[in-house]
Structure 1
Amino acid sequence: MKVIGVTGGVGAGKSLLLAYLEEKYGACVVRTDELAQELIRPGTDLHGSLQELFRGKNAFDPEGGLIRTRAAELIFKDPTLRARMNDLIHPAVKTELIRQIADRKKEGRTPYFVVEAALLIEDGYKKICDELWYIYADENRRRDRLRKSRGYSDEKINAIFASQLSEELFRRNCTHVIDNSGSVEESYRQIRSILGDGII
């Protein structure tokens, strides 16, 4: 089983390509953002730690769930708070991923295990992945996607872009680059050139 880490700037169109890997190649795709949401659900140890971290900041709904938009707003304004939150969540996510990878390897039925993470490079996922893929799209395309699909303002887009790794660093740290600036079929063709024609 090959473990592939997938990363790229926001708005690069990673979701569509991850779906293709699932459908065409039978890949098990784990999105670390979704996994984190599972690990911080009410009743978990991690949820309790977050309640302490955000105490008095109105970051939880009446059922005890973390309000993601509120938490994002808080950590965006406070780098120290963001670092403390990351120090809680990221190690737990990585530990769970390592466990899932080991389980899938034991089963022996999964050809590819794909990990999607915004901080794939920064958090050292190179150590648990066989190779890293960078999903690239030119800046204008990404901006257009974020305006249309998420309704982001130019100010918000600028702030997000400023917080992410440079294209040079993405390219330097990744094994393969998929240029997702053009047609979907062209992006699929690039994946086939790496993995072959698929199993389905």
Structure 2
Amino acid sequence: MKVIGLTGGTGSGKSVVSKSLAAAGAVVIDADKIAHEIILKGEPAYQEIVKYYGTGILDAKGNIIRRRLGEIVFHDAEKLAFLNQCTHKYICAEVDRQIAKAEKENTAKAVILDAPLLLEAGLESRCDMVWVVYADPEVRAKRVMARDGVSYDLAKARIANQKSWEEYKKSASVVIDNSKELAYLQGQLDEILKTI
């Protein structure tokens, strides 16, 4: 069973690609979902995050307000580095657990590790190949604004805090262009899937 790392900058359309791959029978491990789960109250990263950033990131029930945390870290490289250091170890452990489970069950031809921070977290070492989703930075900013309800400036700040396209491209076994219509994307995926 192949483990394929799927990555790309925020707003590039990784989730559209992973949904299509899941529909084709792949097991998808969603690192973003794992990242959201590990910061829930009572979960492993919660205490470390609250201790570092303070209670100002919490709602009345003591839950982390992800948008408030995002506003802090995406404007401060040091604070973003701490968040990544804190969460990546828990994300990697859960990814390893899910890959082992998929391999044991052996019901799919491939495991897709959908991970925006695949390279930053060192998760590419668990993959047989890395697929990178590309989209123009302006297209990405508009998608982030629509998806997350954030300003253009915050969307651009998020993009600026990620790896450059050149860095992504260096790690890519396959590049998927998601700058055009859905049919164009699906055509690429159909061809790529033939190879696995």
Q: TM-score w.r.t. structure 2 length?
A: 0.89
| Alignment partner, residue 76 of structure 2 | 78
Deviation at 1:58, TM superposition (A): 1.2
Deviation at 1:98, TM superposition (A): 0.7
Deviation at 1:20, TM superposition (A): 0.6
> What is the CA deviation profile of residues 140-182 of structure 1, one whole-angstrom value per residue up to 9, with x for unaligned ones?
4323434444444332233223222221211111100011112
SS of 2:50 mapped into structure 1: helix
Tell me if structure 2 keeps the 8 A contact 1:53–1:85. no
Contiguous gaps of at least 5 residues in structure 1: none
Q: How does 1:91-170 map to 2 (within 5 A)?
A: 91-170=89-168
| Alignment partner, residue 21 of structure 1 | 21
| Alignment partner, residue 87 of structure 1 | 85
SS of 1:121 mapped into structure 2: coil
Range that drifts further, 74-83 or 10-19: 74-83
Contiguous gaps of at least 5 residues in structure 2: none
Aligned equivalents of 1:149, 1:26: Cα separation in 2: 26
Aligned equivalents of 2:90, 2:145: Cα separation in 1: 32
Question: Which residue identity is paired with 2:119?
Answer: I
Aligned equivalents of 2:97, 2:74: Cα separation in 1: 31
Aligned equivalents of 2:127, 2:36: Cα separation in 1: 22
| Alignment partner, residue 31 of structure 1 | 30
Deviation at 1:131, TM superposition (A): 0.8
Aligned equivalents of 2:47, 2:161: Cα separation in 1: 28
> What is the CA deviation profile of residues 81-102 of structure 1, one whole-angstrom value per residue up to 9, with x for unaligned ones?
3222221111110111011101
RMSD (Å), alpha carbons = 2.1
SS of 2:57 mapped into structure 1: coil
Range that drifts further, 77-86 or 142-151: 142-151
SS of 2:132 mapped into structure 1: strand
Question: Which residue identity is paired with 2:15?
Answer: S
> What is the CA deviation profile of residues 29-58 of structure 1, one whole-angstrom value per residue up to 9, with x for unaligned ones?
122121022122222232222222223x41
SS of 1:10 mapped into structure 2: coil
Aligned equivalents of 2:188, 2:56: Cα separation in 1: 45
In structure 2, relative to structure 1, the CA distance for the partners of 1:197 and 1:131 (3 Å cut) is closer
Deviation at 1:129, TM superposition (A): 0.9
1:47 aligned to 2:46? Answer: yes
SS of 1:58 mapped into structure 2: helix
| Alignment partner, residue 192 of structure 2 | 194
Aligned equivalents of 2:38, 2:144: Cα separation in 1: 27
> What is the CA deviation profile of residues 107-136 of structure 1, one whole-angstrom value per residue up to 9, with x for unaligned ones?
111222111222212222221011111111
Deviation at 1:197, TM superposition (A): 9.5
